[in-house]
Amino acid sequence: MHMRNQRGFAMPAAIGALVLIGVLMTAGFYLSQQELRIGVASKNANMAVNIAQAGANEVLGNWNGYQLGNIAVWSDTTITDTIANGIWEVSIANGNNYVYFLNATGTVTDGGVRWAGAKRTIGIVTKMIFADINPPAALTTRGKTEIKGGAIVNGTHLTPPAWSPYCTAFSTSDTTGVLTNDTSIIGTSGGGSVAGAPAYDQDSTIVDSTFTNFGDMVWAELTALAAAEGKDVSSLRPTINGTAPDTTASGACNEATLTNWGDTLPTAACGAYFPLIYANGDVTIQSGGQGQGILLVDGNLDLRGDFLFYGLIVVQGNFETQGSGNRIVGAVMASNASVDQQTVTGTSEVTYSRCTVQRAILNNASLSRARPVAQRSWIDLTAVAN
């Protein structure tokens, strides 16, 4: 028997219902996916800000005066690191040697190809806080001081060769050549000379504390910081020969070497290394050599020739030079507490430089720190730039 096709509507109705249900479920899944994407994007955007903040905090918390202090004015350097959920990149721009601008970008790498990539940038305006050390003259001292031979003490400001890019923000004013408690006991003979604005000056307030108290810091704190830095060179006394920059096998500055007192050439490996150096008694430096930073001597200092130093030398005893080629660019403060006769002789030269002294302070991690400026240091640069 042949049966004709018999059509009902139950099946089409059921299929239609299934299609509708399927469409609704698909729409639900789509909405859920969209919601998930929005949620993850929102979370990652915040995470990127936090990664950028982590980078900025890392740079600020471990402010490396040696490295960052050597950024020329109106220039910058960039530090990058990878952390748990992403990568931060912090560019540090030097505004004027005292104010720096940190530009920190955080990028989320968490979540693989699908979810990673959120990026946010923040800015932090920072300011250097540093030890208040202001030598008032090329040579500040007490007692009878003889400048003779070919020696010269000069208060006329000098920016060392090759240092110009690093000195633009510092004062270039000239200062006193020799400042003492009694100018009547300053003598020149032979080819010795004193220059400056003025060449000599008298300050009756020069006392012991002039050579031990520097703003909020005292001598004991400075020497302790030098020891903490690993530059207590007392073990090398009484004679230190041939201080010179030293590098590791990889070419980095080897700060662990006791006779490495930095390199006066800014672009050299140790050019940004400005140590705080301490000797706990009389020191004779001979056989030439070079260095930069702040040299603290708890006794007499005798330079025997061809010693080049950029920065500040503070001597609790006498400051004497002899031989040829000694050259200090910065300032010398010699307490001469026993008021012995000091002799600066030979072809020695002490020339005032605010820049070398200030860089010795600002580039030293123990003596300076970068801090966000008050009230409006933090900037959402992602929002600002758009």
Partner 1 sequence: MTRGRRGFTLIELLIVTVLGSLVVLASIQVLLVNRRVYTAQAATISGQQTTRMGIEILFAELREVSASGGDILEMSADSLRVRLMRKFSIVCATDFSTPPSVTVIRDFLLNNGDTLYIMGGTNRFAQSDSVFIFADNRENTMNDDVWIGAEISLVDPTVTCPQDGDPALKLEFNGQGALFAADSVGVGAAVRSFEKFTFGTTTMNGDVYLARRDTASYVPMTGPLAPTDGLAFVYRDAMGNVTNVETDVAQIEVTLRTGSGVLNSLGRMVQDSVQVWIHTRN
Q: Which is nearer to partner 1, 265 or 381 (CB)?
A: 381
Sign, CA torsion 273/278/279/283: positive
What proportions of the chain, in percent to the nearest 5, are helix, strand and coil?
A: 25, 35, 40
Q: Which is nearer to partner 1, 12 or 238 (CB)?
A: 12
Alpha-carbon gap, residue 132 to 367, rounded angstroms:
9
| Strand, helix or coil for residue 247 | strand
In the complex, least distance from residue 287 CB atom to partner 1, rounded to whole angstroms: 37
In the complex, least distance from residue 218 CB atom to partner 1, rounded to whole angstroms: 16
Residue position matching structure tokens 């018999």: 6
Positions in the binding site for partner 1 (CB under 8 A): 1-2, 4, 6, 8-10, 13-14, 16-17, 20-21, 24, 27-28, 31, 35, 38-39, 42, 73-78, 91, 93-96, 98-101, 103, 123, 125, 127-132, 169, 215, 371, 373-381, 383-386
In the complex, least distance from residue 92 CB atom to partner 1, rounded to whole angstroms: 10
In the complex, least distance from residue 236 CB atom to partner 1, rounded to whole angstroms: 32
In the complex, least distance from residue 101 CB atom to partner 1, rounded to whole angstroms: 6
Q: Which is nearer to partner 1, 47 or 283 (CB)?
A: 47
In the complex, least distance from residue 256 CB atom to partner 1, rounded to whole angstroms: 29
Q: What are all long-range contacts of 325-328, with beta carbons under 8 Å and residues at least 24 apart?
A: 325/288, 327/351
Q: Which is nearer to partner 1, 3 or 113 (CB)?
A: 3
Q: Which is nearer to partner 1, 58 or 282 (CB)?
A: 58
For residue 123 the two structure tokens come to: 């800015």
Cα separation values, 127 from 103, 193, 373, Å: 14, 40, 6
**N- to C-terminal Cα separation, the chain:** 81
For residue 32 the two structure tokens come to: 């859920």
Q: Which is nearer to partner 1, 132 or 208 (CB)?
A: 132
Sequence-ordered list of residues with C-beta below 8 angstroms from that of 57, at least 6 positions apart, any chain: none
